[in-house]
Chain A
Amino acid sequence: MITLTVLLFARAKELMDRDAVSVAVPSPATVGDLRTHLAAAFPPLAVLLPRCVIAVNHEFAEDSHGLNPADEIALIPPVSGG
């Protein structure tokens, strides 16, 4: 198992009332694995998650992207800047 920390923003941050969550996932882990474990560990995020993108080291990542504990991981709800 590895522990991944995921930064939260906007509605995700409000739903969890915190800036980041940590979740344990079996190693090796992909972005897709992270999604599954996040939804299970944090039910308030489950509805929002399918509409979010996962960013890894400031880049949008596909579900097949591999993860390690040193990565900066963020949950990106649909953006609405401008």
Chain B
Amino acid sequence: MTNKIDTTELKPKDFQSDQDVRWCPGCGDYSVLSSVQKVFPKLGIKKEDFVWIAGIGCSSRFPYYMDTYGMHGIHGRAPAIATGLKVARPDLSVWVSTGDGDLMSIGGNHFIHACRKNIDLKLILFNNQIYGLTKGQYSPTSEKGKVTKSSPYGSVDYPFNPTSLALGAEATFVARTLDRDVKHLQEMLLRAGEHKGTAFLEVYQNCVIFNDGAYTDYTDKETKAETIIKLEQGEPLLFGKNFDKGIKIDGFNPVVVDLNDGVHSIEDLLVHDEHDESPVRSFIYSHMTDHPELPTPIGVFRQIKRETYDEAVTRQIEAVTDKKGEGDLESLLFSGNTWEVE
């Protein structure tokens, strides 16, 4: 419904609210904020048509810092609030910022239902693998054995893999990026913004206070070429400092091959297709993080077309109205079995 308009006059600072940003110095949330403010003018949407909804958590303070319509809701419920808004107002561009506790713990149900319903929402998960705002308890994405205030002897929970869960819940757009790779982050935000349907974007976000360094391996200059693999549409899965390693599929398992080993060539590698109708391919990507020997994929895992919930609602209303004519209250009142009293 959101028709692209010319918004070239909009600038990042038009999206900056007058509130002081209150995250801890060094928090990964800052880079997401400034990236969003850079990406929004590129989406061809009027400033007043953006709405930013959030739950509770550090990441959920986001709307206060955006000079758009916004709501800081209650813990875990942002996807449901956003769903109501989008169904009521398909003309708006509705974004949600949420944390791993907010979306995956208390908000898990709304998350999976938003995915399955394919409502045209952008869900940006700030995954810092910790409860930031409540000062450091392990979250559903924390690794097993994590020592925190609520797990002084190590957590005993096996974590969720957010992208796997989204895929299991039928999400039509699944992507991952890093707070520190600003260029990629912006590209992904743009892609999420352009997708029609529930767009799930996981951002690996560093919490400097309670879980500092969770993603250092993926962001450090020295290591990132070996630990991260960028998915690019139509391209073979290549990584490594010199792009001399790749991912090939063995049975259902992705394995690393060395292109210099004299045995393998680029032809052996898996070629990325984000539009693959089957979610199996992206499920393979999502599970690569289970294996320390494999690089962690970032990029768009999956992006397929499917009627959105809000479109379907509108379509149905139009169809019924076409058939029955616009509802008239007087006739509704007087419909059915009536009788007269004189």
Interaction A to B: no
Q: B residues engaging A (CB < 8 A)?
A: none
Contacts from A to B (Cβ < 8 Å): none
